[in-house]
Structure 1
Amino acid sequence: MRSRLPRILLILAWLSMPGCDSRSPLPEPPQLVGLEQGVVEHLDRTYATLQQAQESLTGIELGAAYGDAAITYHAYDLPMTAHSCYQRALDLDPDTARWKYLMAMIKVQLGQEAQATRLYLEVLELIAEHPPTLAALGELKLEVGEPEVAGSYYRRLLDLQPNSAPALAALGKIALEADRPQLAVDFLEQALSLSPAASGLRYPLGLALRDLGHTDRAIEQMKARGDAYPRVANPWLDEVKSRPVGARIALNRGTTLFQEGLFEQARDQFEQACSAAPESATAHLNLGSALAKLNLISEAIAEYEQAILLDPDSTIAWFDLGVIHASLNQESQAIRCYDQALLIHPDNAEARFNRANALRRLGNYLEAAAEMKMVRTLRPGNSTAWLAEAVCYLRIEQRNAARMTCIDGRIATGNDARLISLSARITATDPSPTTEQLASHLEEIEQLLKVQTTLELVETKAMLLAAQGLFEEAIEWQNAALEAALGAGREDIARRLTGNRDRYSRGVAASDPWPEESSGATSDSGGGKRSTSQ
C-alpha cells in the first residue's frame, strides 16, 4: 500500500533550496485546519523546538533537529513541510543516509520518481547493502515499468537475506509478468513458506499455476487471495509511524491490520479514527477501503464521498469510488470519477487504464484506444495496455492499427507472450494470409507452448492450424482448450471456444482474432487496495 496525501490541511510551507546554512530562515509552519487539539499541540511543540534549535545549534546538530522535525511532519501527512525540513537536514548533514531515505519517500509521494531514485542510490553509496532501500528501489522500478531493473535490486536483497520473503515474492511476480510461470511458482511458494499469512501472494501464485495447467491448485489459491504482503523490516519507517498522537494512532493500527488482510479489525480502528477526527479525509478514505473489502458497498461509497467532500483533491478517493461504480456496471459514473482523478493527477496510469476499460465496455472503442495509448506512453513496459489498445482497434475493424500496435508493443515489452499471441491471431484471421506468415507465427507459438501451456496460447495455435487448413489438428487443440475452460469453471469462455470448434468442424477458419470474452487482459485495476495512513 502506497501512501497518498489528502489536503485536509492548509499547508503554506516553503521548500528549502540547496545551499542553505544554519543562518537560513526557518520554513513557515503549516497552518492547520480540522485537526485534533492534541495533534495541533504536538505540531506546535515541534515547531517551537525547531525554533530553539535554529537559535542555538549549528552544522550536523542543527541538521539532526531539522530531520527530527521532518519526521513529525512526515508522520502527519504534511509532505511539503516534511520536504522542506528534510532538505534543510540534508543541506546541513549531507552524509546521513536516514535523511536521504526518508526524503526519497516524500519524493515518491510527490510524484518525483527520478529524484527519489537518485536519493535511494545515494543511500546505497553510504550503506551498500541496505535492505529497505533495495526493496524501495525494486518497488519504485516496478511502478515505473522497469521490471528487469527492479529484479536486479530484489536479487541483491535476496543475496543479502536468502530467506527474504519480500524479495522472493517480488521476483515471483516479476517472473509471472515475464511469462515464466514455473519460476514464478518456485519463488512464490518459497515466499509463502516463509510468510504463510501473505495472502496477497495467493492470486499471482494461482495465475502461475493456471498457466502451467494445474487448474485445481490454481482455483484453490485464487480463492484464498487477500491483501497481506511480506515486508522488509524498516526501523526508519517505524520511527515515522510511531511519531503521531491522537487519531493517527488508530489510523496506523488500522493500516497494519488492513495490510494483513484483517479487514474487520481494520474497520474498527478506522471508525475510531473517524470518531476522533471526523474532519479527517484520510480516516474516511481508509474506512471506505475496509468497507469495500468487506463488500459493504453502499457504506463504502458513503465514506469515499465523505472523504471527497473533505478533500476534493484526493486522487485515491476518486479512483476507488470509480472502481466501485464500475463493479456495479455504472460505467458513466465510473468515468466521471476517473476524470476527476485525472484532473488532479493527469499521469495516473491506473485511473487512465480504468477509464479506457469503462469506455470499452460502453462501446467507445476509438476513445478507449486513445486512452490505452496514453497509458502505455506513461508505462511503456505495460504489456496489458498495448494488448488492450490493439483489441480496441480490432473492435472498429482497424486491423492494421492493431497489427502495428502489437509489433511496437513487442519491441517495447521485450516480446511479451500475449502480444505475440494476438499478432498471430490477427494473421490467422486475415482474409488471405500467406503460408510463410502462418508458419512463422506457428513456430513462435510452439516455442512459447514449450514454456507455458496457457489456454490462450492453445487457442491461438488452433486458429493458426485452421488457417492452414489443418482442421482435424485444430479441433484437437480447440478441444483441449475447451476442457481446460470447463475445468476452471469458465463456461463463458467454453461457449466461445465451442463456437470456433464448430467452425473448424465445418472446415471454416476463425474470423475474430479476439472474441470479447477473451479480453480479461483488460480487467480494471483494483480499488480499495491500500489505505493511506503511513
Structure 2
Amino acid sequence: MGRVGSRKVPHARQGHREPRRSTVIAPARSRRLTRRQWAAGLAVALALGLAGLARAGRLPVPSLSPGAWLPEPAVDRDALEAISLPDVSLLDPLARKQVEAAYQRAVDLREAPSPDRQALGAAFGELGALLLAYDQPGAAAPLANAEALAPSDVRWPYYLGRVARLAGDFETAAAAYARAMALAPGDVPARVRTAQMRYELGRIDAAVPLLEAVLADAPRTALAHELLGQIALDRGDAAAAIRHFEATLALQPDASAVHGPLAEAYRKAGQADRHQAHLEQLGTVRPTIDDPLETALEQSKVGPSAWLAQADLALRNGNPVAAASLYEKVVRDDPDSARAHRNLGVARGQLGDLDGAVRDLQAAARLDPADGGVHQVLGEHLAQAGRAAEAEAAYREAVAREPANGAAQLALAELLRAGDRCDEALPFYATAVALLPTDGVARVQQTFCLVRLGRYAAARDDLAAAVANPPADPDVVDALARLLAAAPDDAVRDGRGAVELALALERKRQSADARETLAMAYAEVGDFETAIRWQTEAIRLATAEHQTAWLETLNANLARYRQGEPARTLWPPYVLAPGATPQR
C-alpha cells in the first residue's frame, strides 16, 4: 500500500544539541534577533513569569529540566526511513483496522507542517511494534525512526533487536540489544538477549560475564542457566553443563528441549542411564524469560486470535481470572471456537465454578467430538463434581477416540478403582503403564488393584520387570520391596531381595515410608533388632509430619517386631482403600 519517504539511513540514534541560553538579551536596537533567539527569549520570560505566579501561590512550581522550555529541533523528514504498510488482509478484522489506523497516524504526523518530534516518534514506534506483534514485515523501518526521534526510549532498540533476531541477523540484533542494555543496565531480558546474540556470534567470552551477572541478580532466570549450560557443554565441561541444565528444568519443567543437551552432558559424564532417561523426555519447548516488553507486544494485539493467545498465556501463568475474561470475549465473538470453550471450562474449574466448567467443556465436546482430550478434561471435571457415571462415560469416549492417550486410560482406571471395580480397571491400567512407562504412580496404583484382588505374584512380576529397566521409579522400588517383605503369599516373599532393595531406597530418600519398608525387610529375614530400630525412626518422622492415620499401622507393626513376628500388612488400610493414591 502507501509508501512514505525515500531516504534510508543507518539505525543510529539521532541526537540534537540544545540551543545555548543567553543570560543577557540584547536590546532590539543593538542587533536583530533571529526567530529562534526570539522564541528562546520568550520561553525564558514565560518561565520567569510562571515562577513568579508560583511563588505567589497561584500556580504549582513545575519541575523543569535544563532546556525543557526550549523548542526541540525540527524533524528532518529526509533523515527518516521510508515506511510501508504490508498486506494485512489475512489478519482478524479488528487487528487489520488497528494496524491500518497506526500506519495512517504515522503518515499524517510525518506530513504535518511542523510535526511534533515526540508524537511522531510514538506513532512510528506504535506502528513498528504492531507489525512486530502480528508477525508482519516492515517493522524495522518505523522502529528505527522511533529510535532516532526518541533515543532514550528502551523499547525501540529492544524491539529492533527482536526483529533482527527472528530474521537470523544476529549481528544487528546484538547491536540493538546492546543499545537497549545501555539505556536500562539492570534490565534482565536486555542483558540475556545481548548475551544470547553474542553466543550465537561465537563471542563466548563476552556472553559469559553477562549471564553470570544476571544469575547473581536474578538466580531464577532459566534462559540464562540454559545458555551457560550450552556454553559449558561446548567447552567440554559436562559437570557445569549438567548443573545449569538441571537448574533450567527445575525452574521450568516443561522446557522439554533442554533434555537433549542434558542427555548429551550425561553421556559425556559417563552416566548412560541418565543419558537415556533424558533422551526419552526430549521435546521442542524452549526455556522462556519473563519479558515485560515482549508481553506488552502480545497484549497490544486485538481480535479473537489474539485474545485466544493472550488467554492461553494467562492460563499457563496461573491467572484463571484474566484467562476466563479473555476466553469469554472469544466465545462472544466466535461461539464455534472449541478451543475457547474448552479452555474457558478449565479456567472456570480452577476458579471453583464446576457447573460452568462442565457446561463449557460439554460445548467444546459437541463442537469437536473427535478430540479425545476434550472428553478427558470433561471427565475430570465431572469426577470433581461427584458425577461419577457421567465422568466414566466421558473417559470411555476419550479412550475410544484416542486409544493412545495414556492419561485418559489412567484416568478411567483410577475412576473404576475408586468405585471398587478393580477387575474392570486392570485392562486400562495395563494400557496406561504401557503408554506411560515412566509414570511410577500409575504402576503402583495398578499394584493396589492387584493386591486387593489377591494377585500378589502378578503384582510382583510387573514391579520386578519395571525395576529391571533403570532408572527405576522410587515408588515402584518401594512397592516391590514391600511385596517381597510382607506379601501374604509365601511364594512371593523374598526377604534378602527386600533388604537389598530397601537399603538402596533408604540411601536415596531418608523418608518415613522408606524406613518403614526397610524395617519390614529386616523383620522378614529375622533381624528384629534392626527392624525395631528402623521402625522407630519411621514412627519418629511420621509423628513429626503429623501422619496420625499412618501411626496406627506403624505402631502395630512395631509391636509385632517386638514379639518376633514379621509384618503382613503391605500398606495401611486407607492406602489400599478405593480411590487412594500412593502418596501419604
Cα distance in 2 for residues equivalent to 1:38 and 1:307: 25
Cα distance in 2 for residues equivalent to 1:513 and 1:303: 43
Is the 1:435–1:468 contact (alpha carbons within 8 Å) kept by the matching residues of 2?
Answer: no
Structure 1 pair 524–347 and aligned structure 2 pair: CA distance change class (3 A): farther
Q: Deviations over 1:36-80 (max 9, x none)?
A: 9849999xxxxxxxxxxxxxxxxxxxxxxxxxxxx99xxxxxxxx
Structure 1 pair 394–436 and aligned structure 2 pair: CA distance change class (3 A): closer
Aligned partner letter, 2:288:
V
Q: Give the equivalent residue in structure 2 for 1:398.
A: 455
Structure 1 pair 271–355 and aligned structure 2 pair: CA distance change class (3 A): same
Tell me by how many angstroms 1:290 deviates: 0.9
Q: Give the equivalent residue in structure 1 for 2:351.
A: 294
Q: Give the equivalent residue in structure 2 for 1:447.
A: 504
Q: Give the equivalent residue in structure 2 for 1:509.
A: 566
Is the 2:418–2:579 contact (alpha carbons within 8 Å) kept by the matching residues of 1?
Answer: no
Note the 1:321-470 alignment, pairs <5 A: 321-430=378-487, 437-470=494-527
Choose from 270, 282, 288 the match for 1:232: 288
Cα distance in 1 for residues equivalent to 2:227 and 2:467: 30
Q: Give the equivalent residue in structure 1 for 2:46.
A: none
Structure number with the bigger relative contact order (C-alpha 8 A, sep ≥ 6) is 1
For structure 2, the 5+ residue unaligned runs are 1-90, 98-134, 137-165, 168-198, 201-223, 234-240, 256-284
Structure 1 pair 381–292 and aligned structure 2 pair: CA distance change class (3 A): same
Tell me by how many angstroms 1:350 deviates: 0.2
Is 445-454 or 328-337 further displaced after alignment? 328-337
Aligned partner letter, 1:160:
Q
Cα distance in 2 for residues equivalent to 1:160 and 1:421: 36
Aligned residues: 338
Aligned partner letter, 1:403:
R
Q: Deviations over 1:100-125 (max 9, x none)?
A: xxxxxxxxxxxxxxxxxxxxxxxxxx
Q: Comparing both structures, which one devotes a greater share of its residues to helix?
A: 1
Tell me by how many angstroms 1:461 deviates: 0.9
Structure 1 pair 296–504 and aligned structure 2 pair: CA distance change class (3 A): farther
Q: Give the equivalent residue in structure 2 for 1:212.
A: none
Tell me by how many angstroms 1:333 deviates: 2.6
| Residue 285 in structure 1 maps to residue 355 in structure 2 | no
Is the 1:352–1:375 contact (alpha carbons within 8 Å) kept by the matching residues of 2?
Answer: yes
Tell me by how many angstroms 1:449 deviates: 1.4
Cα distance in 1 for residues equivalent to 2:492 and 2:434: 34
Paired residue secondary structure (1:412)? coil
Q: Deviations over 1:391-430 (max 9, x none)?
A: 3211111111111111111123433332222222112124
Note the 1:34-45 alignment, pairs <5 A: 38=93
Paired residue secondary structure (1:336)? helix
Structure 1 pair 372–522 and aligned structure 2 pair: CA distance change class (3 A): farther
Structure 1 pair 488–327 and aligned structure 2 pair: CA distance change class (3 A): farther
Cα distance in 1 for residues equivalent to 2:483 and 2:551: 21
Is the 1:316–1:341 contact (alpha carbons within 8 Å) kept by the matching residues of 2?
Answer: yes
Cα distance in 2 for residues equivalent to 1:438 and 1:524: 26
| Residue 310 in structure 1 maps to residue 352 in structure 2 | no
Cα distance in 1 for residues equivalent to 2:522 and 2:405: 41
Is the 1:250–1:269 contact (alpha carbons within 8 Å) kept by the matching residues of 2?
Answer: yes
Q: Give the equivalent residue in structure 2 for 1:159.
A: 229
Provide the alpha-carbon RMSD of the alignment: 4.8
Aligned partner letter, 1:398:
R
Q: Give the equivalent residue in structure 2 for 1:103.
A: none
Structure 1 pair 187–462 and aligned structure 2 pair: CA distance change class (3 A): same
Structure 1 pair 505–294 and aligned structure 2 pair: CA distance change class (3 A): farther
Q: Deviations over 1:255-307 (max 9, x none)?
A: 11111111211111111112221222211111111111112222212221222
Cα distance in 2 for residues equivalent to 1:306 and 1:432: 50
Cα distance in 2 for residues equivalent to 1:437 and 1:37: 67
Tell me by how many angstroms 1:487 deviates: 3.3
Is the 1:409–1:419 contact (alpha carbons within 8 Å) kept by the matching residues of 2?
Answer: yes
Tell me by how many angstroms 1:523 deviates: 7.0
Is the 2:92–2:304 contact (alpha carbons within 8 Å) kept by the matching residues of 1?
Answer: no
Is the 1:391–1:514 contact (alpha carbons within 8 Å) kept by the matching residues of 2?
Answer: no
Paired residue secondary structure (2:469)? helix
Tell me by how many angstroms 1:320 deviates: 1.4
Tell me by how many angstroms 1:484 deviates: 2.8
For structure 1, the 5+ residue unaligned runs are 1-35, 43-70, 73-96, 99-128, 131-153, 164-170, 173-182, 201-228, 526-534
Cα distance in 2 for residues equivalent to 1:161 and 1:273: 43
With normalisation by structure 1, the TM-score equals 0.53
Cα distance in 2 for residues equivalent to 1:278 and 1:397: 52
Cα distance in 2 for residues equivalent to 1:468 and 1:38: 76
Is the 2:341–2:363 contact (alpha carbons within 8 Å) kept by the matching residues of 1?
Answer: yes
Cα distance in 2 for residues equivalent to 1:162 and 1:299: 50
Aligned partner letter, 2:356:
E
Is the 1:369–1:388 contact (alpha carbons within 8 Å) kept by the matching residues of 2?
Answer: no
Structure 1 pair 368–434 and aligned structure 2 pair: CA distance change class (3 A): closer
Tell me by how many angstroms 1:352 deviates: 0.3
Tell me by how many angstroms 1:490 deviates: 3.6
Q: Deviations over 1:373-398 (max 9, x none)?
A: 11122233333333332332111111
Aligned partner letter, 1:280:
S
Is the 2:542–2:550 contact (alpha carbons within 8 Å) kept by the matching residues of 1?
Answer: yes
Is 333-342 or 413-422 further displaced after alignment? 413-422
Is the 2:512–2:541 contact (alpha carbons within 8 Å) kept by the matching residues of 1?
Answer: yes
Q: Percent identity?
A: 23
Aligned partner letter, 1:159:
G
Tell me by how many angstroms 1:475 deviates: 3.8
Cα distance in 2 for residues equivalent to 1:489 and 1:321: 35
Structure 1 pair 247–356 and aligned structure 2 pair: CA distance change class (3 A): same
Cα distance in 1 for residues equivalent to 2:561 and 2:414: 31
Cα distance in 1 for residues equivalent to 2:515 and 2:577: 16
Is the 2:482–2:570 contact (alpha carbons within 8 Å) kept by the matching residues of 1?
Answer: yes
Please say which structure displays the higher CA radius of gyration: 2
Cα distance in 2 for residues equivalent to 1:502 and 1:329: 40
Is the 1:381–1:413 contact (alpha carbons within 8 Å) kept by the matching residues of 2?
Answer: no
Structure 1 pair 431–266 and aligned structure 2 pair: CA distance change class (3 A): closer
| Residue 482 in structure 1 maps to residue 552 in structure 2 | no
Tell me by how many angstroms 1:339 deviates: 0.7
Structure 1 pair 418–349 and aligned structure 2 pair: CA distance change class (3 A): same
Aligned partner letter, 1:293:
Q
Is the 1:349–1:378 contact (alpha carbons within 8 Å) kept by the matching residues of 2?
Answer: yes
Cα distance in 2 for residues equivalent to 1:342 and 1:190: 31
Structure 1 pair 324–413 and aligned structure 2 pair: CA distance change class (3 A): farther
Is the 1:199–1:261 contact (alpha carbons within 8 Å) kept by the matching residues of 2?
Answer: no
With normalisation by structure 2, the TM-score equals 0.49
Q: Deviations over 1:126-160 (max 9, x none)?
A: xxx99xxxxxxxxxxxxxxxxxxxxxxx9986622
